[in-house]
Structure 1
Amino acid sequence: MTKRVGQAVVAVALTAGVLTGCATAGGPDVGAVQSPPPGRTVPYDLYTHCGIDEARIGSTYFEAEVPLSDGSGNPPEGWHNPTQRGTMTLKSAREAVFTDDAGHEVHFRARPGARSFKRLCA
């Protein structure tokens, strides 16, 4: 492999890491989407690896009204790990609801002033 090809591969890998958020360094950003207008439903991959606790929509950080886990820091039975594919509906600037085809529903509330997730997990 030439030096230029190697540099191009590294550049692509770094760009991919930036675009996927912190999937390897804590994960909750993995499902982040641009903030839809209130009432609109958009596809969303909810990060579940350390339980269901937080989500980011646009630049707003949300926390689950009722966090879910198996008691050992994993998603409860019936949830995929590390993400659960579904949809997110922004009910208002402060409320969002995640739903999926398995029948899960998680209500989230915005954390005013938050600039990051409360905790990152590996």
Structure 2
Amino acid sequence: MTKASPETPIPAASGVPSRLYTHCGIKELRVEDTFFIAETPLDDGQGNPPPGWGNPYQDGVVTVSGSKAVFRDDNGHIVTFLARPGATGFLNICS
């Protein structure tokens, strides 16, 4: 299983098992060389993932279709991410 973090990009394939990095909320995702931003960022207002999400990761599946990536997990979470054309890094690196 791969991790969605600055260190390990998710391979671009449909329905790839992955670990979404959630430590500072659900905001960004990298799939191979493409950086994505959450269509609707999620956090608890304190810079953590919302209740019901794992911390620092949430296991699930990422599907990429064109300029969108969708994360789904067994808890019913669904987050749509939009590609950031030309981006070469994350907007924010969470420690």
TM-score by length of 2: 0.91
Q: Give distance in 1, aligned partners of 2:8 and 2:20.
A: 5
Q: Identify, as 1 or 2, the structure richer in strand.
A: 2
* Aligned residue pairs, count: 94
SS in 2 for 1:64: strand
Q: Give distance in 2, aligned partners of 1:41 and 1:34.
A: 10
Equivalent residues of 1:44, 1:85 under 8 A apart? yes
- Offset at 1:91? 1.8
Equivalent residues of 1:63, 1:109 under 8 A apart? yes
* Aligned mate of 1:106, from 66, 79, 85: 79
- Matched residue, 1:24: none
1:108–1:53 Cα change, 3 Å? same
Unmatched 5+ stretches in structure 1 = 1-19, 22-26
Q: Give distance in 2, aligned partners of 1:119 and 1:29.
A: 10
Equivalent residues of 1:31, 1:47 under 8 A apart? no
The letter for the 1-side match of 2:60 is G
Alpha-carbon RMSD: 1.8
Unmatched 5+ stretches in structure 2 = none
Equivalent residues of 1:51, 1:69 under 8 A apart? yes
1:39-118 map, 5 Å = 40-92=14-66, 94-118=67-91
Could you report, residue by residue, the CA deviation over 1:8-45 in whole angstroms, capped at 9, with x for unpaired residues?
Answer: xxxxxxxxxxxx98xxxxx8335622222xxx211010
Q: Give distance in 1, aligned partners of 2:82 and 2:75.
A: 22
The letter for the 2-side match of 1:112 is P
- Matched residue, 1:32: 9
Tell which structure's C-alpha radius of gyration is larger.
Answer: 1
Kindly indicate whether structure 1 or structure 2 has the higher relative contact order, using CA contacts under 8 Å at least 6 residues apart: 2
Q: Identify, as 1 or 2, the structure richer in helix.
A: 1
